[in-house]
């Protein structure tokens, strides 16, 4: 049998096969990986959001290199931070993670932008000077799992200057959920919470969802008129910069070296700053204890569901000032018309405004003086806090810098309800941003206009009483709500794990709604201290209450006075027109006139006829 010999040429062919085949396999494998990466990029670009900013916004989504390049890396240790590195890099930051770092309390490392502090606009000014050079950047992540695909879009902002808190660095996120390749839901982050909506509820341009970013806080909203009701009193609008998908760079988040950095993206000066919301946030991997990253669907399902009726209510709140001003203009027009008619028919009197009839020491004058004093006091009350429930924590490692308002009600910002989170500070969980002071203030203007030309103290007194009651209404509503706190079955709602002291505190507040205080001692795990609560009508509420009582007293005094301020004139028409008489009166008048007619006597004799 002839042996087959391997010539050099044949061996070269085999050699080529041994080399080429693995290379082809490698290329196919890498191509598959590249195909997946390309697929992630394509799907992220397909649903990339359109970002609408309010006209007063000063910071926009930026590459985190801006923050890293302008920051020092510190470790917070008590009251004295330790400088770790004056020139940190993205690669270096990756070592400060729970997995790779040997340090304890890794979240106490932080990047501090050297161009400003949390109490000034230094960072904002520096960012704006470099904004054109850095452009705009949005980070994307595609998360498959459980039959769904979640596309996350993370935005980093150089500074957070919100209505509730102020800190360096800010991370916010929007995600789109696909089921079987079809978009079904969207979730928008808002502070420490957010909102979810169905695909049909979200505004969009094709597959690009529209996101309305709140000024300063960068919370994301589904509508341009949202923000007045809900998590915080955010200012939202579509009247500023618009960033479409082609206006910003879309980068894959999971390829970033700094992603595993577990520290904070902003200044961390004290434990008290945590409670005051002045500490920078942690990055995407660690937001909300990692739930947003590790379980995005669960995080989204835990958010409040958008409601079309709420959208309508938010639209009304957003435009309430405009609506009210229109109604006010109509009301003032009607009042002016009535004043004109009163002037033509009866006159307005020598002093025009009837509350200015003050002449001597008498009930009428005292009543008018009281009314003027009441109006002045009410005006001061409009610009001060009406009601507050505050907390002061004096426990080691968890001390607040004085009192922190948990519930605050005033006439400018409306109602704000905060939750005190030891890890992040005050977190606003509810708000109703209605400018009550505007409505009450215009009501006082109406009171002055309504008193023009009134000639009777009795009529004037009734108007004083009416407006006094109107001033009482907001105070009564506030006190009624506070009293209702004690009726809430807190334990049955929150479960048996709720500390009994919560119900005790609510009971104390509801039983003394006008004001009080309560101190609770803390003894746990060797840590002792105390938590103090105080609540009650604040200065603004007290002034409104006093003003209302003064107006009521002034009204009663005017009614008791029973005085005419001036004699009403009789119109020219009234002078010319005579009153009509009834048929009976006409007959009586005719009879009387007939009796007055003297008839000649009858001629009885011839002599009389001659005469």
Distances (CA, A) of 555 to 369, 372, 464, 489, 559: 11, 12, 5, 42, 6
**Residues spanned by the domain of 41:** 14-45
**Does residue 606 lie in a domain region?**
no
Give the total number of structural domains in the chain: 3
Same domain, 125 and 203: yes
Could you tell me how many residues make up the chain? Answer: 611
**For residues 508 and 500, what is the distance between their CA atoms, to the nearest angstrom?**
13
* Banded pLDDT at 493 (limits 50, 70, 90): very low
The mean pLDDT of the chain is 82
- Looking at residue 238, its pLDDT comes to 92
| Residues 157 and 183: beta-carbon distance below 8 Å | no
Query: pLDDT per residue over 258-273, tens digit each?
Result: 999 999 999 988 776 7
- Map residue 591 onto helix, strand or coil: helix
**Does residue 579 lie in a domain region?**
no
Query: pLDDT per residue over 137-160, tens digit each?
Result: 999 999 987 789 999 999 999 999
Query: pLDDT per residue over 332-374, tens digit each?
Result: 899 889 888 888 888 888 889 999 999 988 999 999 999 999 9
Exposure of 196 in the CB half-sphere (CA atoms within 13 A): 16
Q: How many other CB atoms sit within 10 Å of the CB of residue 392?
A: 17
Least confident of 227-236, 353-362, 374-383: 227-236
DSSP string, 223-246: STT-SSEESS-----SSS-EE-GG
**Does residue 255 lie in a domain region?**
yes
> Whose CA is closest to 471, among 370, 366, 379?
379
Least confident of 22-31, 90-99, 467-476, 528-537: 22-31
Residue 102 has pLDDT above 70, yes or no: no
Same domain, 500 and 555: yes
Q: Which one of 337-351, 413-427, 490-504 scores highest in mean pLDDT?
A: 337-351
Residue 527 has pLDDT above 80, yes or no: no
462: phi then psi, degrees, rounded to nearest 5 = -65, -35
**Does residue 608 lie in a domain region?**
no
Query: pLDDT per residue over 104-115, tens digit each?
Result: 667 789 999 999
Buried b / exposed e across 128-166, counting CB within 10 Å, b at 16+?
eeebeebebbbbbbbbeeeeebbbbbbbbbbbbbbbbbb
> Whose CA is closest to 381, among 436, 334, 309?
436
**For residues 375 and 544, what is the distance between their CA atoms, to the nearest angstrom?**
9
Same domain, 127 and 211: yes
Same domain, 244 and 270: yes
**Does residue 566 lie in a domain region?**
no
Residue 244 has pLDDT above 90, yes or no: yes
| Residues 282 and 264: beta-carbon distance below 8 Å | yes
Q: Which one of 25-34, 71-80, 523-532 scores highest in mean pLDDT?
A: 71-80
Same domain, 293 and 387: no
100: phi then psi, degrees, rounded to nearest 5 = -100, -20
Same domain, 326 and 191: no
Q: In this predicted model, which residue has the larger pLDDT, 248 or 395?
A: 248
> Whose CA is closest to 215, among 200, 237, 230?
237
**Does residue 605 lie in a domain region?**
no
Same domain, 83 and 212: yes
Same domain, 214 and 68: yes
Same domain, 203 and 340: no
- Map residue 113 onto helix, strand or coil: strand
Same domain, 345 and 432: yes
**Does residue 251 lie in a domain region?**
yes
| Residues 411 and 565: beta-carbon distance below 8 Å | no
Residue 482 has pLDDT above 60, yes or no: yes
Same domain, 374 and 523: yes
DSSP H or E stretch at residue 38: helix 8-46
Q: How many other CB atoms sit within 10 Å of the CB of residue 599?
A: 6
Same domain, 87 and 186: yes
Q: How many other CB atoms sit within 10 Å of the CB of residue 190?
A: 23
**For residues 302 and 189, what is the distance between their CA atoms, to the nearest angstrom?**
12
Q: Are strands 109-113 and 242-243 parallel, antiparallel or unpaired?
A: unpaired
Last residue of a domain, one of 318, 353, 387: 318
**Does residue 241 lie in a domain region?**
yes
């Amino acid at each position: 049998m002839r042996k087959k010999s391997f010539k050099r040429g044949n061996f070269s062919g085999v050699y080529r096969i041994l080399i080429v085949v693995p290379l082809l396999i490698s290329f196919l494998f890498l191509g598959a990986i590249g195909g997946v990466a390309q697929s992630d990029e394509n799907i992220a670009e397909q649903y990339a959001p359109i970002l609408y900013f309010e006209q007063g916004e000063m910071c926009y989504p930026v590459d985190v290199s801006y923050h890293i390049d302008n920051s020092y890396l510190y470790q917070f240790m008590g009251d004295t931070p330790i400088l770790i590195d004056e020139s940190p890099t993205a690669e270096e930051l990756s070592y400060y993670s729970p997995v790779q770092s040997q340090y304890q309390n890794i979240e106490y490392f932080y990047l501090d932008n050297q161009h400003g502090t949390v109490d000034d606009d230094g960072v904002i000014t520096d960012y704006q000077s470099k904004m054109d050079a850095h452009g705009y950047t949005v980070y994307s992540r595609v998360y498959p799992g459980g039959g769904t695909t979640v596309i996350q879009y993370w935005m980093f902002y150089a500074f957070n200057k919100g209505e509730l808190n102020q800190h360096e660095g800010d991370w916010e996120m929007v995600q789109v959920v696909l089921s079987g390749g079809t978009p079904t839901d969207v979730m928008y982050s808002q502070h420490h919470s957010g909102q979810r909506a169905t695909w049909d509820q979200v505004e969009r341009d094709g597959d690009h969802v529209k996101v309305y970013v709140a000024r300063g806080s960068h919370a994301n909203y589904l509508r341009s008129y949202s923000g007045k009701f809900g998590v915080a009193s955010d200012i939202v609008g579509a009247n500023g910069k618009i960033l479409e998908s082609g206006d910003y760079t879309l980068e894959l988040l999971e390829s970033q070296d700094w992603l595993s950095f577990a520290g904070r993206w902003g200044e961390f000066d004290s434990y008290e700053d945590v409670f005051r919301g002045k500490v920078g946030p942690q990055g995407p991997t660690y937001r909300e204890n990692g739930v947003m990253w590790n379980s995005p669907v669960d995080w989204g399902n835990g958010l409040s569901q958008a409601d079309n009726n709420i959208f309508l209510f938010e639209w009304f709140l957003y435009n309430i000032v405009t609506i009210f001003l229109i109604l006010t203009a109509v009301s003032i027009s009607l009042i002016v018309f009535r004043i004109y008619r009163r002037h033509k028919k009866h006159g307005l009197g020598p002093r025009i405004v009837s509350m200015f009839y003050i002449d001597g020491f008498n009930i009428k004058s005292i009543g008018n003086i009281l009314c003027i004093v009441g109006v002045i006091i009410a005006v001061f009350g409009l610009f001060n806090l009406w009601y507050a429930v505050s907390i002061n924590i004096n426990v080691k490692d968890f001390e607040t810098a004085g009192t922190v308002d948990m519930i605050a009600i005033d006439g400018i910002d409306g109602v704000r309800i905060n939750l005190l989170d030891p890890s992040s500070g005050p977190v606003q969980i509810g708000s109703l941003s209605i400018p009550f002071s505007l409505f009450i203030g215009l009501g006082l203007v109406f009171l002055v206009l309504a008193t023009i030309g009134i000639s009777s103290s009795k009529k004037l007194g009734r108007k004083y009483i009416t407006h006094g009651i109107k001033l009482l209404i907001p105070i009564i509503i506030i006190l009624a709500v506070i009293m209702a706190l004690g009726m809430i079955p807190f334990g049955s709602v929150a479960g048996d794990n709720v500390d009994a002291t919560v119900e005790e505190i609510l009971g104390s507040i509801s039983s003394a709604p006008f004001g009080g205080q309560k101190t609770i001692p803390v003894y746990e795990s060797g840590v002792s201290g105390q938590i103090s609560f105080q609540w009650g009508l604040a200065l603004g509420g007290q002034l409104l209450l006093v003003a209302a009582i003064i107006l009521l007293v002034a009204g009663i005094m005017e009614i008791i006075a029973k005085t005419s301020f001036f004699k009403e004139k009789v119109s020219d028409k009234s002078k010319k027109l005579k009153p009509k008489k009834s048929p009976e009166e006409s007959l009586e008048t005719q009879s009387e006139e007939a009796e007055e007619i003297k008839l000649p006597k009858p001629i009885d004799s011839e002599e009389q006829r001659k005469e």
